[in-house]
Structure 1
Amino acid sequence: MGAARKVLAAWATLAALALTGLQPARAEVNGVNAMTEAMLTEYASLPCVRSIARDGAVGCGSPSDRSVAEGGALFLVESVEDVTGLIENAQGFDAVALVVDDALLHGDSLRAMQDLARKIRVAAVIVTVEEDGSPQEPPRSSAAPTTWIPSGDGLLNETVSFVVTRLRNATQSEEIRALAASNRDRGYADAVFQHSARYQFYLGKETATSLSCLVSGRCDPLGGLSVWASAGPVPVNSAKETVLLTANLDAASFFHDVVPARDTTASGVAAVLLAAKALASVDESVLEALSKQIVVALFNGEVWSRAGSRRFVHDVALGECLSPQTASPYNESTCANPPVYALAWTSLGLENITDVVSVNNVAGNESDTFYVHSAAGTASANAAAALQSVASSSTDVDVSITSATTSGVVPPSPLDSFLAAELETDVSFGGAGLVVSGFDAAITDANPRYSSRYDRRDEGSEADDAEALTAARIADVATLLARHAFVQAGGSTSDAVNFVLVDETHAAELWDCLTKDFACTLVADVIGAEDTTAVADFMGSTLFAASEGIAGGAPNFFSGIYSPFPVENNVMRPVPLFVRDYLAQYGRNASLVEKATESAKYACAQDLECMAMTEPPECELGRSALACLRGGCVCSNAYFHDAVSPALVYEGGAFSVDAQKLADDDGLWTEPRWSDGTLTLYTSANSASTTIALLVCGILLTIGCVFALRKAQGMLDNTKYKLN
């Protein structure tokens, strides 16, 4: 009876307020929460997250108070003109929650929405998706326009004051579009009941910078783990110079959970991995006879001021561990500053790296012609000529390499960190620098979807046939990269052509895993998962599929936040783990893996278990590190390396910044710590007619409840029971 009386009291309060024309206070409205809670519907969605740099933030905003999330009426946006029209006719609207199709979310529309937010409150922007995820108009690159990206719409660089969240599937999208259309058909502000939405999500103060946020402990650095390895079965050798093949391991889009990066990242990763595997097939004695060693590296955190390559170059240029740790779970000395698990990187030396060849964006070009961009200087020009010579001699491949028209200038890639080494480390890189790509003067000429959530594989049988051709081209590019590295390391062109060749069948399988379904047999085999279902479970929220948001499909190439000592803390991300295991298994003799997996003594499920072994395999000091490969602990020549700004120092469980190591162009990117947001839909009262309707309903309900209570009391009196 107590609950019923509270409800009656709430209705009486609302009726009295309506009669007097007063607005109910928050505490008074809460009196009817028991009745309205059942009317709320929550939807799962993927929010746009703010990224905070040393000079400010980009991305989305949130309510200024972490405990408050004011809602707004659903407003259907079917064109940018709908937003501009609302700006001109905003009277009658207190707040709106814009419902926008995914294809309409681009730089121009977001800027219009921010203009709207200056006139009325934008409670949220809800992005809906189609069943097949296909855009209804040609997508554009989300990057800011530059010389290399002239058609970029700048979406990634926008800063807005409201939350933007993307629904996970088409079913939810249809429901919310229908509710917004209902609001529109009723005339929005004149409707009796408005379908409304709010989003509870707090991203910190709008004025935050990464420096202040790190000091307060409210942000984490963006980055992760890079992976590098010696190509082939030979560990790194400090007595030899180095030829380095590299690519970026991460990408970005407006939604951090939707980064398929087919051409932007996956194509370069595939090319480097395939080149490393091809080199591993060369006889060990042939590789040992080369005058130089070949190393491959996949750098993470590149979208965050080149965090991965910048850190690697800094550490290799330094060449020594400032804080060694003699007690090591990896059975060798490790380093606390910089924090790495193995000391093999000290054997490289920046001054001993004679060639850096970076590869990216080799899947957007449907042509068989690829381009080599050479850095300024004779060494780079000679290296470019050598690559073209190898390509000309490789009559067994179907692609060609031609010089880009932008001579002496290279597109964005990890090579930039090597070229800038002297400015940041006082150690110069005097070697040759090349970038191999599928474009000449502009990335978006070959791939208009570059660095956007639409840079993904299309669906359907015709698309699969086209992807098979793409995989074959990438295999040919990888063959040429591996042969070029072999020749630059001291081998002959004839030996390179005879010994080095990428398996196209394997290339097609790898390409499908990286662009279609990461929960594939190859990945399961490489990371030692029981089956593909176990891979999908491990991937969790880092998977991406157009129709289900993150329920399956290609891997998410967003780097994530940097976590110190991820192996010990068991916070490994799937993509770097797969890359490390792939390079370790195909870079060492397969017999090592087979021997470890056959021995119960070295059985493991993850690296952490190898670290805890009392008698692990004895790895060669400074040249290899323990890794759990296919269920067995093995001495690996593939390594993780921190991908985070060199200026960041981690001590005592907290981050600090070494200002002397902070380069001018190092954004020191961070992400605020946030909890999962909640998108809630409900019915709200937004007009005088609604107030009258509620008053009438309240009076009728009150009369009905009083009548029912008296009737019930009479019945109880007749049975000689008393109602207290």
Structure 2
Amino acid sequence: MDAASFFRDKSLGADSPISGVISLLAAVDALSHVDGLDNLNKQLVFLVFTGEAWGYLGSRRFLLELDQQSDAVRGLNSSLIQLVMEIGSTGKGFSQGNKTFFAHTQVVSSDTNEALDALKLAQESLKSEGVTVSNASSSNPGIPPSSLMSFLRKNSSTSGIVLEDFDTVFANNFYHSHLDDSANINSSAIVAAASLVARTLYVLASDKKDSTSSALSSINANASLVEELISCLLDCDPGLSCELVSSYIASVDTCPSHYVGVVLGEPSSTPSTNQVDDISRFVWNFLADRTSTPKGNTTVCSKDCSNNGGVCIRAETDGKGICVNSTTRYVPAYSTRLKLDSGTWKVLPPNSSDPMGMLDPVWTESNWNTIGLRVYTVQEAAYDQLVLLGGLSVTILAYLAIVLTKAYITKALKQD
């Protein structure tokens, strides 16, 4: 969910990757309105990674936490991952009234084929809305750059699909540029992708194969929510001061920035204001809200909220927050070769058993506590002319002094 460019705060990454993030949030919202989600045959886990433009920091850190079975990923097991479905760029999948997407795969397996069949089933249920999903060209060398690569390097037999708005050629000409803004995407394509993903996940998790079922046709992304997310996450007006974001967090900035940021202190699994950027805190609160159930009779957060398996959302808005039952976690994204030991960061040697660890970059950045600026006023033209006149006068006087001195010395030498 981060974008990178020379001017980091000017790169919004509207199509790549924010259109995919908005599609995911809208899909989660659509599924949150479905009855009986607790009775699904399979567990759905939603992940939003950051730092992927910097050596896949987020996905690799997540997989490392899974291996270490840390508290941040408690309840998850990498051996139980059946399929990884990634939403890539979706904002440009609109042409002549049709919404077209492509499913990129690398590993041929029964789980992958099942997911492709579910996509086709979801497409059939959305045929009236002009949604089309095609398998990416077999001539492609593999999947496009994506977080799925981290899973495949960890386990080459991992089944996965990357949903993109392009087939063989990357469609975003403004990738990692300030021109990749809200004008570079189409909200209808994002809505279609969200509905497609939500219905596909429902088919996979419920094993219902009927494209005409009322349950499937009732799953639709909220177009108004998508429009609001675009204006909140990609524009300065209203930007992060929009009603949706303000209902979850007290944003530090108004203009959104999708720069990944830097780790200054000890990494924490709590998305606090002084350590985590506005976008990440909003996404965490949004997902925790949409995937939660009320906790008991009381909704106000207390010290016992987290101790009893709950999470506190909207705490920044009124200082109280709401305690809900949710398994939403926050895992800081930083290099797997970094370790904080007694308040000091240490760089670990490359891990020979990790194919990506051998080339794992450790990114650093200069940090200034205070940035100052000196402003000088423009001098008046009369003052500049006076300075020029003074300079000419000094030059003429110096020349005359040299000539007179030379004549005096010459005369004195002749007399001697």
Q: Does 1:695 align with 2:396?
A: no
Q: Does 1:477 align with 2:193?
A: yes
2:69 corresponds to: 320
Shift in CA distance, 683/395, structure 1 to aligned 2, threshold 3 Å: closer
Deviations 1:131-187 (A, max 9, x none): xxxxxxxxxxxxxxxxxxxxxxxxxxxxxxxxxxxxxxxxxxxxxxxxxxxxxxxxx
Q: How big is the shift at 1:385?
A: 3.6
**Which amino acid counterpart does residue 645 of structure 1 have in structure 2?**
S
Out of 287, 290, 293, the residue aligned to residue 583 of structure 1 is 287
Q: Which runs of 5+ in 1 are unaligned?
A: 1-248, 322-342, 422-427, 530-534, 544-554, 603-612, 685-689, 701-724
**Which protein has the bigger strand share?**
1
For residues 677 and 442 of structure 1, the distance between their equivalents in structure 2, rounded to whole angstroms, comes to 44
Q: How big is the shift at 1:395?
A: 3.3
Q: How big is the shift at 1:619?
A: 4.4
Q: How big is the shift at 1:490?
A: 3.4
Q: How big is the shift at 1:310?
A: 0.8
CA RMSD of aligned residues (A): 3.1
**Which amino acid counterpart does residue 676 of structure 1 have in structure 2?**
I
**Which amino acid counterpart does residue 107 of structure 2 have in structure 1?**
A
Shift in CA distance, 275/569, structure 1 to aligned 2, threshold 3 Å: closer
Shift in CA distance, 476/691, structure 1 to aligned 2, threshold 3 Å: same
Q: Does 1:656 align with 2:370?
A: no
Deviations 1:114-136 (A, max 9, x none): xxxxxxxxxxxxxxxxxxxxxxx
Matches within 5 A, 1:669-708: 669-674=363-368, 675-676=370-371, 678=373, 695-696=391-392
The answer to whether the Cα contact below 8 Å between 2:83 and 2:158 also exists between their aligned partners in 1 is: yes
Out of 196, 211, 232, the residue aligned to residue 513 of structure 1 is 232
Deviations 1:27-60 (A, max 9, x none): xxxxxxxxxxxxxxxxxxxxxxxxxxxxxxxxxx
Shift in CA distance, 473/493, structure 1 to aligned 2, threshold 3 Å: farther
Q: How big is the shift at 1:560?
A: 0.9
Shift in CA distance, 693/441, structure 1 to aligned 2, threshold 3 Å: farther
Out of 155, 177, 180, the residue aligned to residue 452 of structure 1 is 177
The answer to whether the Cα contact below 8 Å between 1:262 and 1:456 also exists between their aligned partners in 2 is: yes
Identity %: 27
Shift in CA distance, 559/694, structure 1 to aligned 2, threshold 3 Å: farther
Q: How big is the shift at 1:594?
A: 9.8
Q: How big is the shift at 1:432?
A: 1.6
Q: Does 1:526 align with 2:242?
A: no
Q: Does 1:383 align with 2:115?
A: yes
2:39 corresponds to: 289
**Which amino acid counterpart does residue 434 of structure 1 have in structure 2?**
I
1:502 corresponds to: 221
Q: How big is the shift at 1:433?
A: 0.9
Q: Which runs of 5+ in 2 are unaligned?
A: 380-385, 397-416
For residues 374 and 658 of structure 1, the distance between their equivalents in structure 2, rounded to whole angstroms, comes to 33
Out of 356, 362, 373, the residue aligned to residue 104 of structure 2 is 373
The answer to whether the Cα contact below 8 Å between 2:107 and 2:157 also exists between their aligned partners in 1 is: no
For residues 408 and 348 of structure 1, the distance between their equivalents in structure 2, rounded to whole angstroms, comes to 32
Shift in CA distance, 481/568, structure 1 to aligned 2, threshold 3 Å: closer
1:47 corresponds to: none
For residues 256 and 697 of structure 1, the distance between their equivalents in structure 2, rounded to whole angstroms, comes to 51
The answer to whether the Cα contact below 8 Å between 1:457 and 1:515 also exists between their aligned partners in 2 is: yes
Deviations 1:41-80 (A, max 9, x none): xxxxxxxxxxxxxxxxxxxxxxxxxxxxxxxxxxxxxxxx
User: Alignment partner of 2:101: what SS?
Assistant: strand
Q: What is the TM-score normalised by the length of structure 2?
A: 0.79
Out of 6, 31, 41, the residue aligned to residue 279 of structure 1 is 31
Q: How big is the shift at 1:679?
A: 7.0
Matches within 5 A, 1:281-680: 281-283=33-35, 286-316=36-66, 318-321=67-70, 343=71, 345-367=73-95, 368-378=99-109, 379-405=111-137, 406=139, 409-421=142-154, 428=155, 430-443=157-170, 446-458=171-183, 470-494=186-210, 497-516=216-235, 517-518=238-239, 519-527=241-249, 529=250, 535=251, 538-539=252-253, 543=255, 555-563=256-264, 564-565=267-268, 567=271, 570-589=274-293, 591-592=294-295, 595-596=298-299, 599=300, 602=301, 615-617=303-305, 619-621=307-309, 624-629=310-315, 631=318, 632-635=321-324, 636-661=326-351, 663-674=357-368, 675-676=370-371, 678=373
Shift in CA distance, 677/303, structure 1 to aligned 2, threshold 3 Å: farther
**Which amino acid counterpart does residue 41 of structure 2 have in structure 1?**
S
For residues 677 and 365 of structure 1, the distance between their equivalents in structure 2, rounded to whole angstroms, comes to 44
Q: How big is the shift at 1:388?
A: 2.2
The answer to whether the Cα contact below 8 Å between 1:619 and 1:625 also exists between their aligned partners in 2 is: no
User: Alignment partner of 2:82: what SS?
Assistant: strand
For residues 498 and 441 of structure 1, the distance between their equivalents in structure 2, rounded to whole angstroms, comes to 31
Q: How big is the shift at 1:383?
A: 2.5
Q: How big is the shift at 1:391?
A: 1.1
For residues 389 and 568 of structure 1, the distance between their equivalents in structure 2, rounded to whole angstroms, comes to 41
For residues 457 and 260 of structure 1, the distance between their equivalents in structure 2, rounded to whole angstroms, comes to 9
For residues 196 and 141 of structure 2, the distance between their equivalents in structure 1, rounded to whole angstroms, comes to 22
For residues 394 and 375 of structure 2, the distance between their equivalents in structure 1, rounded to whole angstroms, comes to 25
Shift in CA distance, 433/408, structure 1 to aligned 2, threshold 3 Å: farther
Matches within 5 A, 1:95-174: none
User: Alignment partner of 2:246: what SS?
Assistant: helix
For residues 666 and 574 of structure 1, the distance between their equivalents in structure 2, rounded to whole angstroms, comes to 27
Q: How big is the shift at 1:256?
A: 1.1
Q: How big is the shift at 1:393?
A: 3.2
**Which amino acid counterpart does residue 523 of structure 1 have in structure 2?**
V
Shift in CA distance, 480/403, structure 1 to aligned 2, threshold 3 Å: same
Q: How big is the shift at 1:452?
A: 1.0
The answer to whether the Cα contact below 8 Å between 1:483 and 1:493 also exists between their aligned partners in 2 is: no
Residue correspondences, number: 368
The answer to whether the Cα contact below 8 Å between 1:619 and 1:626 also exists between their aligned partners in 2 is: no
The answer to whether the Cα contact below 8 Å between 1:369 and 1:401 also exists between their aligned partners in 2 is: yes
Q: How big is the shift at 1:404?
A: 1.2
Q: How big is the shift at 1:413?
A: 1.1
User: Alignment partner of 1:617: what SS?
Assistant: helix
For residues 698 and 574 of structure 1, the distance between their equivalents in structure 2, rounded to whole angstroms, comes to 60
The answer to whether the Cα contact below 8 Å between 2:140 and 2:168 also exists between their aligned partners in 1 is: no
The answer to whether the Cα contact below 8 Å between 1:387 and 1:484 also exists between their aligned partners in 2 is: yes
Shift in CA distance, 408/493, structure 1 to aligned 2, threshold 3 Å: farther
Deviations 1:615-645 (A, max 9, x none): 4336445xx4444445414244322111111
For residues 11 and 259 of structure 2, the distance between their equivalents in structure 1, rounded to whole angstroms, comes to 6
For residues 508 and 692 of structure 1, the distance between their equivalents in structure 2, rounded to whole angstroms, comes to 60
User: Alignment partner of 1:371: what SS?
Assistant: strand
For residues 9 and 297 of structure 2, the distance between their equivalents in structure 1, rounded to whole angstroms, comes to 36
Q: How big is the shift at 1:344?
A: 5.5
For residues 279 and 255 of structure 1, the distance between their equivalents in structure 2, rounded to whole angstroms, comes to 37
**Which amino acid counterpart does residue 290 of structure 2 have in structure 1?**
Y
The answer to whether the Cα contact below 8 Å between 1:319 and 1:349 also exists between their aligned partners in 2 is: no
Deviations 1:365-408 (A, max 9, x none): 33221111112322434422431232123335332111111457
User: Alignment partner of 2:11: what SS?
Assistant: coil
The answer to whether the Cα contact below 8 Å between 2:85 and 2:162 also exists between their aligned partners in 1 is: yes
The answer to whether the Cα contact below 8 Å between 2:232 and 2:245 also exists between their aligned partners in 1 is: yes
The answer to whether the Cα contact below 8 Å between 2:11 and 2:178 also exists between their aligned partners in 1 is: yes
For residues 491 and 373 of structure 1, the distance between their equivalents in structure 2, rounded to whole angstroms, comes to 22
Shift in CA distance, 396/587, structure 1 to aligned 2, threshold 3 Å: farther
